C-alpha cells in the first residue's frame, strides 16, 4: 500500500507534506508519495489575493485532485484554508502546531526597531500591514507575494528595507538564520491557523481512519477556536483579522485582532478548552460590541 498526498509545488509546501508523510510512516509503516500541483494562487503573483478571489485559490485545484481520487489526502497550511469547506471534504487531522509568530527579515540584517524613518517593508497581508503601522507609524508598506524564495529575491530587487514572514515556514525550511527579529504574539497577533498544518480528505475516503488518527487534539482546538473567531466575524482574505489561541493546562487564552469601521481592535478571552468553538464566537461578539 502506498498513499498519494497532494501538495503545492513550493519548497515549503513540500517540506510540510514530508512532515505528514513521516508521521504516517512512523505510525503505520506506510509509505507515501507527493502529487505536486500548481494552484491559481501560485500562478498569479502580480495581483493581491483580494483581487483574484482569496486564500481559497491555494486549495481549489488540490481539492479537485481529491474529488477525482488522484490523491488520498492533501496537506495545507491551515491559514490558507477557508473556514467553509465544500461539503464533500473535511479536515481529518490538525498536526504540527509550530511557532505561530511573525518575523522580520531585514535587508543587511538591520533590526526592525533600528530601521530608518519611513522604511519600506513588503507584505501582502492587510493584518501584518495594520499591525506594523501600530508598531511604527512611519513605516511604508508595499505588497509582495510569492513563496519564501521569491519574496527574498523581491526584497533585494525592489530595494526594500525588509519583509514580514511566518516563523514556522522559515524554521521548516531550515532558514531560521535569516530572521532578524521575532514579533511576540502580543506585538503582532498571528494569522488564523498560522504555524498549523491540516490534512484534508474526501469524507468517504477509504483511508479516512489513517488520517484521523494523526490528529493532535490540542492543536485542533487552538486552530478551530481561531477559525471560529474568523467565522463569527465573517472574515476572509479581505479582512484585517488575526487570532491566537494558547493553552495553559485545560484553560485556553484567545486573543483576537480585527479592523471594525476603520478602527483596529484587539481583545482577549479565557475559557475551557472544551468550549473552544464558543470562545471564538464570544470573543468576536466582544469585539463587535466595542
| Residue 244 · residue 174 · CB < 8 Å | no
138 catalytic, yes or no? no
CA atoms within 13 Å, Cβ hemisphere of 143: 10
Alpha helices in the chain (DSSP H): 11-28, 40-43, 49-52, 60-67, 126-135, 148-157, 167-172, 208-212, 217-232, 276-288
CA atoms within 13 Å, Cβ hemisphere of 22: 8
Q: Which of 51, 69, 72, 80 is catalytic?
A: 80
| Residue 39 · residue 61 · CB < 8 Å | yes
Rounded Cα distance between 75 and 3, Å, is 13
Rounded Cα distance between 99 and 168, Å, is 5
Catalytic residues, by residue number, are 80
Amino acid at each position: 500500500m502506498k498513499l498519494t498526498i497532494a501538495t503545492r509545488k513550493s519548497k515549503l509546501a513540500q517540506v510540510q507534506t514530508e512532515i505528514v508523510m513521516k508521521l504516517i510512516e512512523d505510525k503505520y509503516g506506510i509509505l507515501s508519495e507527493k502529487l505536486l500541483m500548481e494552484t491559481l494562487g501560485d500562478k498569479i503573483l502580480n495581483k493581491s489575493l483580494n483581487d483574484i478571489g482569496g486564500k481559497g485559490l491555494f486549495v481549489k485545484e488540490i481539492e479537485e485532485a481529491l474529488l477525482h481520487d488522484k490523491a488520498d489526502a492533501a496537506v495545507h497550511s491551515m491559514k490558507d484554508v477557508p473556514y467553509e469547506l465544500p461539503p464533500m471534504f473535511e479536515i481529518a487531522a490538525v498536526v504540527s502546531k509550530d511557532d505561530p509568530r511573525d518575523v522580520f527579515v531585514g535587508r543587511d540584517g538591520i533590526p526592525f526597531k533600528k530601521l530608518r524613518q519611513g522604511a519600506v517593508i513588503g507584505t501582502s497581508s492587510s493584518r501584518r500591514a495594520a499591525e506594523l503601522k501600530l508598531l511604527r507609524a512611519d513605516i511604508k508598506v508595499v505588497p509582495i507575494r510569492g513563496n519564501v524564495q521569491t519574496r527574498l529575491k523581491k526584497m533585494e530587487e525592489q530595494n526594500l528595507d525588509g519583509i514580514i514572514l511566518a516563523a514556522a515556514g522559515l524554521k521548516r525550511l531550515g532558514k531560521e538564520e535569516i530572521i532578524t527579529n521575532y514579533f511576540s504574539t502580543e506585538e503582532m497577533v498571528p494569522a488564523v491557523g498560522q504555524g498549523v498544518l491540516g490534512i484534508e480528505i474526501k469524507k468517504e475516503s477509504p483511508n479516512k481512519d489513517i488520517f484521523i488518527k494523526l490528529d493532535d487534539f490540542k492543536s485542533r482546538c487552538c486552530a478551530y477556536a481561531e477559525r471560529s473567531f474568523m467565522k463569527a466575524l465573517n472574515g476572509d482574505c479581505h479582512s484585517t483579522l488575526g487570532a491566537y489561541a494558547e493553552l495553559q493546562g485545560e484553560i485556553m487564552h484567545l486573543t483576537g485582532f480585527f479592523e471594525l469601521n476603520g478602527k483596529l481592535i484587539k481583545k482577549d478571552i479565557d475559557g475551557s478548552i472544551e468550549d473552544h468553538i464558543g470562545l471564538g464566537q464570544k470573543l468576536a461578539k466582544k469585539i463587535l460590541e466595542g
